[in-house]
């Protein structure tokens, strides 16, 4: 087991970031987030010292599988996928992973929407997951995005992620073909029976054109112990509240909408899967940490810092603006895959203005 965020286990990563990119992480740049627990990859569990405030918050219940709730607790980043000359930019990806861990992010989520998964070839998908796993070096869990609108293809992606060393799966509801609630139920059940990794259901009707009901989530939580969490991205705090009220003793609720992170924590959410944390990981992680510690004033202040940037990151379709922001900050090139294209000039100017105002770029 390796201490999550422990300076000894991180080695020299504090000097890995170039100054331009590091400057985007605020006054605490280059510092190491203090350890919250010990992650045992083989057992897929994260344990805490008995006096840890996270132990109290994360261990309020145990998942039916015996998998630690803590593995699905906290601020997690939906990683962008850097490209260079049409290929995955491994160096930039490794740099991004290191910087996220240094800043205190609790888990990494490659190959989701933000990671341009629909345009990744299966071999690239497995490569990205493997590179993130290798670079993370068991310091934080890796939850791989594996969703598609084909059950067979989803299983193939999940098996590739399992082979690459992922600790869990993020699986979006099948998009475009609009399965019924029964179809959604069978899709996730079939996946869980095929690949023995814990699953986070990703419900985002705005993109998928299908909305998994709370009743269907309840059926899944009852029928399949590997279905352990939901990334709630309907944009409705009341929906997150209802899931937490009905299923909070057996399913983790994660915010999938950055503007609503703090509100969802307040109604029972146990963390987030964030786009904003690509560029503001310290603030996004700090918001969760402060909330979990009961420091609501600090949580509100840190969350407030992120809001102008979050708004700017959706001036155009995600991940177009976040790719542009990361390029401005020196983290990677802006290359993005068609049918998405680099950000237009007017929103680019507005994005840069916000980043400068928030101290993420020099004036």
Q: Does 360 reside within a domain?
A: no
Give me the pLDDT at residue 45, please: 52
Q: Does 330 reside within a domain?
A: no
Residue 188 annotated to the active site: no
Residue 46 pLDDT greater than 90, yes or no: no
Residue 122 pLDDT greater than 90, yes or no: yes
Lowest mean pLDDT among 26-30, 250-254, 274-278: 26-30
Helix orientation angle between 122-136 and 90-103, rounded to the nearest 10 degrees: 40
Domain count, the chain: 1
Residue 341 annotated to the active site: no
List, for residues 186-225, the tens digit of each pLDDT value.
Answer: 999 999 999 999 999 999 999 999 999 999 999 999 999 9
Pick the catalytic residue: 48, 188, 202, 265? 202
Q: What is the mean pLDDT of residues 230-243?
A: 97
| Sign of the torsion formed by the C-alpha atoms of 69, 276, 92 and 98 | negative
Residue 58 pLDDT greater than 70, yes or no: no
Q: How confident is the model at residue 7 (pLDDT cuts 50, 70, 90)?
A: very low
Give me the pLDDT at residue 65, please: 64
Nearest to 275 by CA among 64, 116, 159: 116
CB atoms within 10 A of CB 249: 12
Give me the pLDDT at residue 39, please: 52
Q: Does 328 reside within a domain?
A: no
Find out whether the peptide bond into 319 is cis, omega within 30 degrees of 0: yes
Q: Does 196 reside within a domain?
A: yes
Q: Does 338 reside within a domain?
A: no
Separation of alpha carbons 139 and 234, rounded Å = 31
Give me the pLDDT at residue 70, please: 79
Q: What is the mean pLDDT of residues 348-361?
A: 97
Which helix H or strand E contains 169, and what residues bound it?
Answer: strand 168-172
Find out whether the peptide bond into 218 is cis, omega within 30 degrees of 0: no
- Would you list the DSSP string of 69-93? GGGG-EEEEE----EETTEE-HHHH
Q: Does 331 reside within a domain?
A: no
Domain that holds residue 71: 2-306
The CATH number given to whatever domain includes residue 240 is: 3.20.20.70
Could you tell me the two tokens for 240?
A: 């997150």
Q: Does 280 reside within a domain?
A: yes
Q: Does 24 reside within a domain?
A: yes
- 312 alpha carbon, distance to own chain's centre: 19
Q: Which residues pair with 46 in a beta bridge?
A: 39
Separation of alpha carbons 40 and 140, rounded Å = 9
39 SS3 class: strand
36 close to 54: Cβ distance less than 8 angstroms: yes
Pick the catalytic residue: 188, 231, 265, 323? 231
Nearest to 73 by CA among 93, 90, 94, 54: 54
């Amino acid at each position: 087991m390796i201490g999550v965020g422990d300076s000894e286990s991180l080695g020299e990563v504090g000097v890995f970031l170039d100054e331009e990119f590091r400057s985007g992480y605020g006054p605490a740049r280059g510092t190491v987030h203090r350890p919250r627990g010990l992650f045992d990859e083989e057992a897929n569990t994260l344990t805490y010292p008995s006096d840890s405030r996270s132990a109290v918050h994360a261990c309020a219940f145990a998942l039916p599988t015996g998998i630690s709730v803590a593995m699905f607790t906290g601020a997690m980043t939906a990683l962008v996928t850097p490209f260079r000359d049409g290929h995955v930019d491994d160096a930039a990806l490794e740099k991004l992973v290191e910087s996220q861990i240094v800043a205190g992010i609790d888990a990494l989520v490659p190959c989701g929407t933000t990671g341009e998964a629909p345009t990744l070839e299966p071999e690239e998908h497995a490569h990205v997951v493997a590179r993130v796993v290798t670079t993370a070096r068991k310091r934080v869990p890796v939850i791989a995005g594996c969703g598609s609108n084909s059950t067979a293809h989803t299983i193939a992606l999940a098996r590739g992620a399992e082979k690459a060393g992922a600790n869990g799966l993020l699986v979006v509801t099948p998009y475009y073909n609009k399965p019924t609630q029964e179809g959604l139920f069978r899709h996730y059940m079939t996946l869980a029976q095929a690949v023995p990794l814990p699953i986070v259901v990703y419900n985002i009707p705005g993109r998928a054109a299908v909305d998994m009901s709370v009743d269907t989530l309840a059926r899944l939580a009852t029928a399949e112990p590997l279905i352990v969490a939901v990334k709630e991205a309907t944009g409705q705090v009341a929906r997150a509240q209802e899931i937490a009220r009905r299923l909070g003793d057996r399913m983790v609720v994660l915010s999938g909408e950055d503007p609503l992170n703090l509100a969802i924590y307040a109604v029972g959410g146990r963390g987030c899967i964030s786009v904003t944390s690509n560029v503001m990981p310290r603030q996004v992680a700090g918001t969760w940490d402060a909330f979990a510690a009961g420091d609501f004033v600090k949580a509100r202040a840190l969350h407030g810092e992120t809001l102008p940037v979050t708004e700017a990151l959706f001036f155009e379709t995600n991940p177009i603006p976040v790719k542009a922001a990361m390029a401005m900050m020196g983290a990677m090139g802006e290359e993005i895959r068609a049918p998405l294209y680099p950000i237009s000039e007017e929103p680019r100017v507005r994005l840069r203005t916000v980043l400068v105002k928030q101290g993420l770029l020099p004036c």
